[in-house]
Chains A and B, each alone.
Chain A
Amino acid sequence: MPEHAILAEGIRKNYGEKRALDGFDLQVPKGMVYGLLGPNGAGKTTAVRILTTLVRLDGGRAEVAGLDVATQARQVRRRIGLAGQHAAVDEILTGRQNLRMFGRLFHLGKKRAAERAEELLEQFDLLEAADKGIKTYSGGMRRRLDLAASMIFAPDVLFLDEPTTGLDPRGRNEVWDAVRSLVARGTTVLLTTQYLDEADQLAGRIAVIDRGRVIADGPPESLKRLIGGDRIEVVVRDPANLSAAAAVVARVASAEPEIDETAGRVHAPVAERVAALTEVARTLQDDGIAVEDIGLRRPTLDEVFLRLTGHRADDDEPATKEKVQA
């Protein structure tokens, strides 16, 4: 048995002049959630589409479940599930009809397909809406149905392309729970996301992708250490106090504080989150520095990229790229 669920070596994929993937490497061990984190246009979807046999690669090679995606596509398809960036279910059919149809197309017998549909409807808490048209479903329900459809076959490897983009926090939690329960049953999951938080919540390992290649990878903790973890942020009321506040922050920070003059803001990564916050709050008060706002926050994806690449997440993608799912 292969030790990796997914193995990609130097994958290249060009769309005309555009290099969507440019030497993309990935090694995903079995049985874990692997997060692929990157901004718009980084190449996440292209990577997923190549690994799920939907598009051909121009160079390099890739194996899924020990099978070559280029030469053993049919066999690969028996072992994977895919939930693409948009909930790909038939909106005219009901939830139950969708799952039965996909079950049949996964070559389950008629009876087995019907049983499996019931199991999944129950697992994803969709029994109540099972006989309603998908048009009446909320975004979260659609996503869950989409996930259910991608899990009909208990795939060895499940690909989830931005499964929570466009969902409200509740829908997001629903999807996260579904993913967690799947992984508990031994499926390997490759999950792409634009949210650091999501990768942190779900993934045992994260790869950061930028301009078609992986620029950093490791467990979330080491990645967070690399990018400085959580940040403390202080906004002072009087800009004159900014450098004094920066000095206070510097005492607890794990790196040089960054100062934003116009916003009167100073922020820096911290290791001991709560201790740092109380320490800074107390010292500022003792020193009589009036504070507009103080708090801890996660680094944004922008900061991650700035840190890892020295450039901001590419903004030069056309604004028309659709991000909200139907």
Chain B
Amino acid sequence: MSVDAKIADDEGVGTRLYWAVADSWTIVLRGLTHYVRQPSNIAWQLGFPIVSVLLFGYVFGSAMSVPGGGDYQEFLMPGMFGMTMAFGFMNTAYIVVYDKARGVTDRFRSMPMAPSAVVTGRGVGDLIGASLDLVVLGLTALAIGWRSSGGVLDTLAAFGLLLLLRFALIWIGVVLGLLVPNEEAAGSLFAVAFPFGMISSAFTAPSLMPDWLGAIALWNPVSSTVTASRELFGNPVATGDTWIEQHALLMAVVWPVVITLIFLPLAVRRFQRLSR
């Protein structure tokens, strides 16, 4: 049978590294092919933020005020970007549970591919997907009049922070995906994602919320990212003088790092537990 000779069993570090990267790339391509083959998924994913933009921007917009002044639409857009990133972990969780439930993960694990590639490929693929989301949302925002008055570098930094949040949430997505039993259960993760995205400074200033809710919103990592990106975009910020609000830029880096440090090892451990 015309099949290539088996690869030598004792391969060097260089070969291993090569295949770790090559295998990750194969998984990235798989994720991108999913995007191409299911365009309606992108529509669903961006449907919510876009409808929110239209609803809050036009319908409720006139009734919403930004503490400290400023245009509500300008205030809202970075919130939508942040919320989309926050919801993103559901995509990760969904594909992880899908692969697990359908036996695809087992097939990968029974193959000679680099074990790390499943996770790194997933991570890179998700970041590319999230960047696409941001491009589409950004263009929508531009179309309805939103502008970044920050410099090019600041604007890029703002998008970078948004992606950093999404990156950190990949690991939460992987952990949740390995925890829930099946795809239907993954759907109910929306009950987690929704408050996570909404109880934040995305739509309104935490100072306008009841005290206890406001406190949660203040310390929600989404808020730090959203506030930091507002600062960098030069959009209305509407922050109070609490420490967490004053250090949004710092916390927009610290939160994702902390989340990654906690959940990346957890994700790896959960993955290894599959062989119990």
Tell which of A21-29, A33-41, A85-93, A200-208 binds the partner: A85-93
B107 touches A106 (CB 8 A): no
Tell which of A76-84, A236-244, A291-299, A307-315 binds the partner: A76-84
A75 touches B3 (CB 8 A): no
Tell which of B26-34, B148-156, B222-230, B254-262 binds the partner: B26-34
Tell which of B46-54, B98-106, B160-168 binds the partner: B98-106
Tell which of A3-11, A53-61, A171-179 binds the partner: A53-61
A105 touches B111 (CB 8 A): yes
Smallest CB gap from A94: residue in B? B37
A107 touches B112 (CB 8 A): yes
Q: A77-B112, A78-B6, A101-B26 are in contact. Are A88 and B104 (CB under 8 A)?
A: yes
**Interface of A, helix, strand, loop or mixed by DSSP:** loop
* The residue from B7, B30, B104, B109 contacting A107, defined by CB atoms under 8 A apart: B7
A52 touches B110 (CB 8 A): yes
A78 touches B1 (CB 8 A): no
B26 touches A154 (CB 8 A): no
Whether a CB of chain A sits under 8 angstroms from the CB of B216 is: no
B215-255 to A contact mask, C-beta < 8 Å, 1/0: 00000000000000000000000000000000000000000
Q: Which residues does chain B contribute within 8 Å of A133, judged by CB atoms?
A: 37
Q: Which residues does chain A contribute within 8 Å of B103, judged by CB atoms?
A: 84-88
Whether a CB of chain A sits under 8 angstroms from the CB of B113 is: yes
Q: How far is the CA of A202 from the CA of B34 in the complex (A)?
A: 37
Q: A88-B103, A105-B108 are in contact. Are A93 and B37 (CB under 8 A)?
A: yes
Q: How many residues of B contact A (CB 8 A)?
A: 32
B110 touches A107 (CB 8 A): no
Most chain A CB within a 10 A radius of its CB, from B3, B111, B275: B111
Whether a CB of chain A sits under 8 angstroms from the CB of B4 is: yes
* The residue from A54, A89, A94, A108 contacting B104, defined by CB atoms under 8 A apart: A89
A77 touches B110 (CB 8 A): yes
B26 touches A105 (CB 8 A): yes
B4 touches A92 (CB 8 A): no
Q: How far is the CA of A153 from the CA of B34 in the complex (A)?
A: 25
Q: How far is the CA of A150 from the CA of B104 in the complex (A)?
A: 12
Q: How far is the CA of A45 from the CA of B7 in the complex (A)?
A: 28
Q: Which residues does chain B contribute within 8 Å of A82, judged by CB atoms?
A: 106-107, 110
Whether a CB of chain B sits under 8 angstroms from the CB of A263 is: no
Whether a CB of chain B sits under 8 angstroms from the CB of A282 is: no
Q: How far is the CA of A52 from the CA of B274 in the complex (A)?
A: 13
Smallest CB gap from A149: residue in B? B107
Q: Which residues does chain A contribute within 8 Å of B19, judged by CB atoms?
A: 107
Chain A to chain B: the 7 pairs with minimum beta-carbon distance, closest first: A88-B103, A154-B3, A105-B113, A88-B107, A82-B110, A77-B112, A104-B26
